[in-house]
Amino acid sequence: MAKQSRQSGPSGRSRGEWEELIGKFEQSGVSRQRFCAEASIPVSSFDYWRRKLRRERATTNGGFIELPAISSRPSWDVELELGGGMVLRLRRD
């Protein structure tokens, strides 16, 4: 019997489940805190997986990542990792 690979963290969610959750968040138009509260997800776990998946996409896309459209959202936040431990955070609440 073949063992199925399932990459998951302490929450027990698989990588695919995190990708799906983050996709739903990006389409939701609500704040991270509200989305996580409604989905019963720790914000720290959500942020970890969001950064992890963005980094992986950036390395496969030549260093570029696609940012979701933010003009129609009442509140938003953008986080850019500049390297060398520097992070640029932009938020509108």
> pLDDT tens digits, residue range 56-69?
876 665 666 666 66
Tell me the domain boundaries of the chain. 15-92
In Å, how far from its chain's centre is CA 26?
8
The whole-angstrom separation of Cα 84 and Cα 93 is 28
Closest CA to 32 of 60, 73, 66: 73
DSSP state of 44: H
Q: Residues 32, 51: contact at Cβ < 8 Å?
A: no
The pTM assigned to this predicted structure is 0.54
pLDDT 10s digits, 18-45: 999 999 998 888 999 999 999 999 999 9
